[in-house]
Amino acid sequence: MQAKMTGTSRMKSPVAPAVYRPQPVPKVLQTRLVSPRQSNPAQSSRQFVARRANVTPIRNTVQRALVPRVVQRRLDFLPGTEYLNPNTNNIPLAGYRQTLQEAQQLDQVITVRAEKPKVGVAAYTPDDNELKGVIRIEPITERELIDRTDEYTARLIAMAHETRHGIDDLSKLVKYRRNAEERIHTEWRAFATQSAVAFTLIAQGQPVKERYRLEMASYVDKPAFIHRGSKMTEITRSYMIQYELHNNPSDEYIADFMRRHDNWVDEALALYQRLLPAQVDQQVAQNLRPPGTDTTWWTKGLMIAGTAVLVASIALLLKKYYGLGQ
């Protein structure tokens, strides 16, 4: 009942029995971690380096310069889902684009189907052998698409949410397939992702369903997330029941879980902030403050978000020019 209360269609589907068939990880995966893309560069760079002695320190730069990056479609948009593709549509939502780009950089393919999942609007289903995934998303009518209704924005929000599950699953950032606690971990990250998209849509004055505003309110800052009765504590409760961590988790049980996984909370909040647009008009932000959110939290959350965006931009620049973080 709690699970239904949250109304998050999307979170239920990864738990559907068919989805979580425990399978031994195929050996081949371990070797596939070194992608073909990486092995060729190494070879050519070795030759290159051999010809010029003492250039080893700039080897990374040389490698990248020598090997053109192969562009491949890691998100495969089947007919009826093309409108979700940020590369062929004008979808001016930084967090949405960034999330889908992350998925496009994976070695595995995620197929996007126009198909109503068993529960809710959209669902990510991992493939048994962990080499691919599918996002099923309820078809949208032509009218809703043209009018950019809250059904349209709901699809974008759901797509961002499910894409995060796909990234977590296929990159193994969060190994949640066989671990109930890790399933909650990926949900916190998926809700962070959808909330950043919801925030941007609201800031642009687009119609967004109320539930997404309420869920977003938990990501303003840590107190908003962990406080008793917050939307995310309620969602977490419903998952605990659904994933059979506890059949009737008390507020104390949830608080304790969040304390034990304090780093997951921080990580989810940081993810949300990273995906927010670089510039948010403070007045607009105040006006779109969701109900039940303390003004201080809201303002503070925005300031943290702004700082995070700045730090991330600097880090990106550093990475681009100095090859840091490789």
Nearest to 137 by CA among 148, 150, 121, 161: 121
Q: How far is the CB of 270 from Zn ion (least distance, A)?
A: 19
Distances (CA, A) of 296 to 164, 214, 289, 303: 29, 17, 11, 11
Helix or strand or coil: residue 111?
Answer: strand
> Please, which of residues 176-205 interact with Zn ion by CB under 5 A?
187, 190
Total of residues contacting Zn ion (CB under 5 A): 4
Rounded to a whole number of angstroms, the CA Rg of the chain reads 21
Q: Which is nearer to Zn ion, 166 or 249 (CB)?
A: 166
CA atoms within 13 A on the CB side of 110: 31
Q: How far is the CB of 83 from Zn ion (least distance, A)?
A: 21
**162 contacts 190 by C-beta, under 8 angstroms:** yes
Q: What is the distance between the alpha carbons of residues 57 and 59, in angstroms, rounded to a whole number?
A: 6
Nearest to 230 by CA among 254, 206, 253: 254
Q: What is the distance between the alpha carbons of residues 284 and 280, in angstroms, rounded to a whole number?
A: 7
Q: Using the rule CB under 5 A, give the single segment among 11-19, 26-34, 74-82, 94-102 that binds Zn ion.
A: 11-19
> Please, which of residues 282-321 interact with Zn ion by CB under 5 A?
none
Q: Does 274 bind Zn ion (CB under 5 A)?
A: no
Q: Using the rule CB under 5 A, give the single segment among 10-18, 27-35, 60-68, 152-160 that binds Zn ion.
A: 10-18
Q: Using the rule CB under 5 A, give the single segment among 3-11, 221-229, 267-275, 315-323 that binds Zn ion.
A: 3-11
Q: How far is CA 128 from the centre of its chain?
A: 21
**256 contacts 196 by C-beta, under 8 angstroms:** no
Q: How far is the CB of 10 from Zn ion (least distance, A)?
A: 5
Q: How far is the CB of 295 from Zn ion (least distance, A)?
A: 29
Phi-psi region of 117 (alpha: psi -120 to 50; beta: other; left: phi over 0): beta
Q: How far is the CB of 193 from Zn ion (least distance, A)?
A: 10
Q: How far is the CB of 187 from Zn ion (least distance, A)?
A: 5
Phi-psi region of 289 (alpha: psi -120 to 50; beta: other; left: phi over 0): beta
Q: Which is nearer to Zn ion, 10 or 113 (CB)?
A: 10
Q: Which is nearer to Zn ion, 190 or 276 (CB)?
A: 190
Nearest to 11 by CA among 153, 130, 180: 180
Q: Which is nearer to Zn ion, 189 or 289 (CB)?
A: 189
**String of DSSP letters for 276-295:** S-S---HHHHHHTPPTT--H
Query: Considering only residues 10, 74, 185, 222, which one is a binding residue for Zn ion as defined by CB under 5 A?
Result: 10
Q: How far is the CB of 63 from Zn ion (least distance, A)?
A: 37
Q: Which is nearer to Zn ion, 10 or 177 (CB)?
A: 10
Q: Which is nearer to Zn ion, 13 or 293 (CB)?
A: 13
Q: Using the rule CB under 5 A, give the single segment among 2-10, 108-116, 145-153, 274-282 that binds Zn ion.
A: 2-10
Q: Does 11 bind Zn ion (CB under 5 A)?
A: yes
The token pair at 106 is 């994976």
Q: Which is nearer to Zn ion, 188 or 297 (CB)?
A: 188
Q: How far is the CB of 11 from Zn ion (least distance, A)?
A: 3
Residues that bind Zn ion (CB under 5 A): 10-11, 187, 190
